[in-house]
Amino acid sequence: MEILKWQRLSSRYLVKEKWATLRVDTCKLQNGTVKDDYFVLEYPDWVNAIALTKDNKIILVRQYRHGADIISLEIPGGVIDGDELPESAVKRELLEETGYTFETCEQIATLYPNPATANNRTFTYFLTGGVKTHPQHLDEHEILNVEEYSIEEVKQFLKENKIEQALHTAALFYGLLKLEQQP
């Protein structure tokens, strides 16, 4: 059977804020069923980075995440501002969060955090040749530590489930595959 997109019959917003919007849709499915309360979270698109220093250390950040109430070891990244291009956003986020600039920048994946209920994408970039050039310039709500780890240490963190953010583990998977392909 061919899978078809649902037909959106109507939409209304329950919450419309800067960081998240909650929309409720009425949709007609391909089998004729009408679903009149399908909730969709609208978020801005995000970027994240597998960022390697000149000496092949992977840059990770450690910060508190209130939603899950955890101290989280993560890759750097953040929200794309307005009409900003994803590549510009990842470079900006890296400079703000870590103070590093990079020689190369390549998009390696586009992921949907939760396509069942959210509409945003996460663009994953692979950057090399990182050098600390600036002090951190964090947002008022950001408190994070910048940490560097060997590729083997990061692989061990993944084996031990020490990187709990799902999008970041997926990004690291793509980044490690990219590293295997390099001469």
pLDDT digits (tens, 9 = 90+) for 112-171: 999 999 999 999 999 999 999 999 998 888 899 999 999 999 999 999 999 999 999 999
A 10 A CB-CB count for 94 gives 26
Residue 166, CA atoms < 13 Å, CB-side half-sphere: 5
Percent of residues in the chain assigned helix, strand, coil, to nearest 5? 20, 45, 35
Residue 183 has pLDDT above 80, yes or no: no
**What residue numbers bound the domain in which 118 lies?**
46-181
Residue 109 has pLDDT above 90, yes or no: yes
* Mean pLDDT, rounded, of the chain: 96
Whether residues 65 and 101 share a domain: the answer is yes
Residue 48 has pLDDT above 80, yes or no: yes
Whether residues 59 and 110 share a domain: the answer is yes
- Considering its fold, how many domains does the chain have in total? 2
Whether residues 80 and 149 share a domain: the answer is yes
Which of 22-36, 87-101, 135-149 is predicted with the least confidence, judged by mean pLDDT? 135-149
Query: What are φ and ψ of residue 84, in 5° steps?
Result: -60, 140
What is the structure's pLDDT at 20?
A: 82
Whether residues 138 and 126 share a domain: the answer is yes
Ramachandran region of residue 161, left (φ > 0), alpha (ψ -120 to 50) or beta?
left
